[in-house]
Copies of this chain bind each other. A is one copy, B any other.
Amino acid sequence: MTEKTLTIALIQETGYKTAEQSYQALESRIREAVKQGAKLILLQELHSHYYFPQQENTDHFDLGESIPGPTTQFFSLLAKELKIVIVTSIFEKRASGLYHNTAVVLEQNGEIAGCYRKMHIPDDPGFYEKFYFTPGDLGFRPIQTSVGKLGVLVCWDQWFPEAARLMALNGADLLLYPTAIGWSPEDDQAEKQRQLDAWTTVQRGHAIANGLPVVVCNRVGTEEALQFWGNSFVAGPQGEILAKAGESSPQSMLCEIQFSRTETVRRIWPFLRDRRIDAYEHLTQRYLG
């Protein structure tokens, strides 16, 4: 059994007014994390900007960029210089009137290893994402890199067991979620706690159901009406919490993952052995009632 390990850094940051400010803050944290041994960097969702989907405003489409584009160029130079893999999250302009919420993985040599376009798009008060992002059309395919096969998913995807399962079936070594989730001011403390617990629990559930590590990097800090709740975390393949960030401050968090745990856990809990694929066909239906 391999004893391969991987040190991951989650960069939990606030939203900055400009991309340049974001780049600066993120670069400084990435350099620090690499000094401490990080080989894979996970950034939060839409890290180059404040969380613009709080309003539906056509001017915000100005923030869209191509791939490759300014953000991939910036982080690709950093990846190459530091010999690390970086998972970025970009407001992708694919064509006029066609935008996606896209994770781009940059290799140690600075090249683009692959992209994942957010498949499940939310829309609720303060998170008007359906206005901005066309649902992804690349499917649930892990991205092969020098540090492993990365099952990159984005934020709202984290509530859908189907997404995690398909990444696992496609051979992902771990699941990674750049995220921007927070509380609305009108919710009371008990509701806020339930939401945070649910968010952590459902993703730990994906780790357990698929016998894989799950890595979640969330935005933090208050932006207008929203309080992004941080709490970035890493769970092992039994859903056990390996590392957990705070709720209110930017921070880098390092965590070492042992890939051999997946083999060990899947030997005692071989769920992939026992799936009833002969009885799952209706999962492609909207509803059956």
Distance between Cα atoms of A282 and B276 in the complex (Å): 13
Q: Are A268 and B124 in contact (CB under 8 A)?
A: yes
Task: Tell me if A74 counts as interface (CB < 8 A to partner B).
Answer: no
Q: Are A171 and B286 in contact (CB under 8 A)?
A: no
Distance between Cα atoms of A281 and B281 in the complex (Å): 8
Task: Tell me if A189 counts as interface (CB < 8 A to partner B).
Answer: no
A160 and B208 in contact (CB under 8 A), knowing A201-B239, A276-B120?
no
Tell me the smallest distance from the CB of A270 to a CB of chain B, in Å. 8
How many A residues touch the partner, as a band? Answer: 35 or more
- The interface residues of chain B lying within 8 Å CB-to-CB of A275 are 120, 160, 162, 286
Q: Are B198 and A119 in contact (CB under 8 A)?
A: no
Q: Are B208 and A198 in contact (CB under 8 A)?
A: yes
Q: Are A281 and B284 in contact (CB under 8 A)?
A: yes
Q: Which residue of B lies closest to A162 (CB)?
A: B280
Tell me the smallest distance from the CB of A126 to a CB of chain B, in Å. 11
Q: Are B166 and A120 in contact (CB under 8 A)?
A: no
Distance between Cα atoms of A274 and B279 in the complex (Å): 22
Task: Tell me if A68 counts as interface (CB < 8 A to partner B).
Answer: no
- The interface residues of chain B lying within 8 Å CB-to-CB of A159 are 208-209, 269, 271
Q: Are A160 and B283 in contact (CB under 8 A)?
A: no
Distance between Cα atoms of A209 and B158 in the complex (Å): 9
Chain A residues with a Cβ under 8 A of chain B? 119-122, 124, 135, 139-140, 156, 159-163, 165-166, 169-171, 194-195, 197-198, 201-202, 204-206, 208-209, 238-240, 268-272, 274-289
CB-defined A-B contacts under 8 Å, sample of 21: A121-B274, A124-B270, A139-B279, A161-B161, A161-B162, A161-B205, A165-B283, A166-B282, A169-B282, A169-B287, A171-B289, A194-B238, A197-B238, A197-B240, A198-B208, A198-B239, A198-B240, A201-B239, A202-B204, A202-B239, A277-B286
Q: A135-B276, A198-B208, A202-B205 are in contact. List 10 more A-B contacts (CB 8 A).
A: A120-B276, A124-B270, A161-B205, A162-B280, A166-B288, A171-B287, A171-B289, A198-B240, A202-B239, A283-B284
